[in-house]
Structure 1
Amino acid sequence: MQNTRETIKKYNIQLTKSLGQNFLTDFNVVKKIVNTADVGQEDVVIEVGPGIGTMTLELAKRAKKVIAIEIDKRLIPALEDNLSGFSNVQIINMDIMKADINAITSEYDSSNIKVVANLPYYITTPIIMKFLEEDTKADMMVFMIQKEVARRIVAGPGTKDYGALSVAVQYYSKPEKAFDVPPHCFIPQPDVDSAVIKLIINKEPPVKLLDKGMFFKTVKCSFAQRRKTLINALYNTGGLNKSKEEIKEILKSMGVDENTRGEMLSIQQFAMLSNLLYESSL
């Protein structure tokens, strides 16, 4: 493993706070992340934000192919130099939010595609949701993210961390937190603790929906005003065009108390609620 400090000095790399650049320096953490992703000889790995290639090196040793997507062009020379000994690494200088992941992976078998990334904290959720919503062919994703966000992703109904992000990620995958990573494992040290999560992508959604758009709109409205009851949250947020009485009747038909808050509903109950709201709009 290359010395991160020496590489930064050698290439005179000025880390950019706006890009959320915190480079991993602990090789044990790197190995634990790659082990969590269970990377093997047949796997094609998409790595987001490889930086100077600290984790890319370990991925390249184990995977069939590594596609490293890095937004910062200043890091490309160091990345290319550090990975020059590997013919199975493709480096792409691009903003991941503008990338067509399916086009990039079109030639590979979907059952062997994995995503591994140390994500910048300022854009964690948009990147995760991009991979999930665009129906990329990956069957597993492993992300290092802010510990607080990891708690929200894996949270269940009735907990303070449970919210729209929990429901959205759990609609597309089965998330689990793998382990925590303290700030001293990075250069520069972030102000928060980090955690590694693993998402096993659902081959089929866990619930049957009449309208996917209505489902996510219902979830978003339900958590928009957490302190309010579900009836008031759904009515006040707008977009559903339902009276309080209509919402009350729908909840009653589900056996849900009218004073219930959104955080108490499971993903199955949200599916039932959105289906009933959709049917009543026809």
Structure 2
Amino acid sequence: MRETGWMMRLLGPTEIRILADKLDLRPTKKLGQNFVIDGGTVRRIVRAADLSPEDVVIEVGPGLGSLTLALLPSARHVVAVEIDPVLATQLPLTVGERGLGDKLTVVAADAMRVSLADLGGYTPTALVANLPYNVAVPVVLHLLEALPSLEKGLVMVQSEVADRLAAGPGSKVYGVPSVKAAWYADVRRAGPVGRTVFWPVPNVDSGLVSLVRRDPPATKVSREEVFAVIDAAFAQRRKTLRAALSSWAGSPPAAEEALRGAGVDPSARGEQLDIHAFARIAEHKPEPAASPNR
């Protein structure tokens, strides 16, 4: 008989250890493997994700299936992207034992390279994941770009990363991740997560981050051109934008010209600007000076 709703039998510490022993699993820092062993935490994540019965969820790094099992009753389908082939093979078995195998697709792939064509014909509308700490930011940015169907997301990341993703202009931790994420979505902190809900226990705290898709800034230039300005502005974040953008623009005077054209004070610094200001600067990049005829 199929288990439904919160009656789903989730994975606790004992089940996680039994599965790990069965698979001879030794969690690795290289893959950022810290498995959630607390049912209350995964239920909290699913509640915060605010899923509808029509949502197709993409989950990155499902591991042994702690969060997957909590997601399945709340979504139409879950597409789990797992880079570890042993875990990718085991997950359908774990889910199948609970009668929900028809609601799960496992993709054995690197989430940094996955595209819509890899997802078994499903079009994800929500990202919900306990992301590997070492690749959390690039994975989020890649999926928001590669999967424009994503309308929302709820991800668990290292606490400091959560702060950076959700930071606004003027914050000490506002930087490249904050601005680039803001190109795609409204981003906010959605609560803390303690260390003891994981096995093995990490040496850092975690945090939940909520993302709600929005239109990017209206601009005449490409996302890549805007991101090039962001990268340049924060590569030397202690410098004024006139100095920090000199290589990008071709010279300090050219950088000042672009900044003034965009309505930005050349003595400002990158952490003072929002995504719209960076888009305006990209639009005003001066044309390269023509080479004199010999």
Distance 1:135 1:252, change over 3 A: same
Q: Gapped runs of 5+ residues in structure 1?
A: none
Q: Distance in 2 between matches of 1:18 and 1:103?
A: 24
Q: Give the counterpart letter for 1:29 in structure 2.
A: T
Counterpart of 2:278 in structure 1 is 270
Are 2:62 and 1:50 equivalent residues in the alignment? Answer: yes
Distance 1:76 1:244, change over 3 A: closer
Distance 1:196 1:102, change over 3 A: farther
Distance 1:39 1:211, change over 3 A: closer
- Which of 251, 266, 281 is the equivalent residue of 2:259? 251
- Which of 214, 223, 228 is the equivalent residue of 1:217? 228
1:186 Cα deviation from its structure 2 partner: 0.3
Greater alpha carbon shift after TM alignment, 130-139 vs 40-49: 130-139
**CA contact under 8 A between 2:54 and 2:75: conserved in structure 1?**
yes
Q: Distance in 2 between matches of 1:219 and 1:273?
A: 10
Q: What fraction of aligned residue pairs are identical, expressed as a percent?
A: 37
Q: Give the counterpart letter for 2:249 in structure 1.
A: L
Q: Aligned ranges for residues 1-282 of structure 1 at < 5 Å?
A: 1-2=10-11, 3-84=15-96, 85-86=99-100, 87-104=102-119, 106-108=121-123, 113-202=125-214, 204-235=215-246, 238-241=247-250, 243-277=251-285
**CA contact under 8 A between 1:179 and 1:195: conserved in structure 2?**
yes
Q: Gapped runs of 5+ residues in structure 2?
A: 1-9
**CA contact under 8 A between 1:70 and 1:94: conserved in structure 2?**
yes
| Aligned residue-pair number | 275
1:113-168 per-residue CA deviation (whole Å, 9 max, x = no partner) reads 21111111111122111112224311112211111111111111111111121111
1:32-90 per-residue CA deviation (whole Å, 9 max, x = no partner) reads 11111112321111111111111111111221111111111122343222101212111
Pairwise CA RMSD? 2.1
SS at match of 2:232: helix
If the length of structure 1 is used for normalisation, what is the TM-score?
0.90
Distance 1:250 1:71, change over 3 A: closer
Distance 1:96 1:267, change over 3 A: closer
1:170-192 per-residue CA deviation (whole Å, 9 max, x = no partner) reads 01111111111111110001111
**CA contact under 8 A between 2:144 and 2:150: conserved in structure 1?**
no
Q: Distance in 1 between matches of 2:142 and 2:260?
A: 35
Q: Give the counterpart letter for 1:132 in structure 2.
A: L
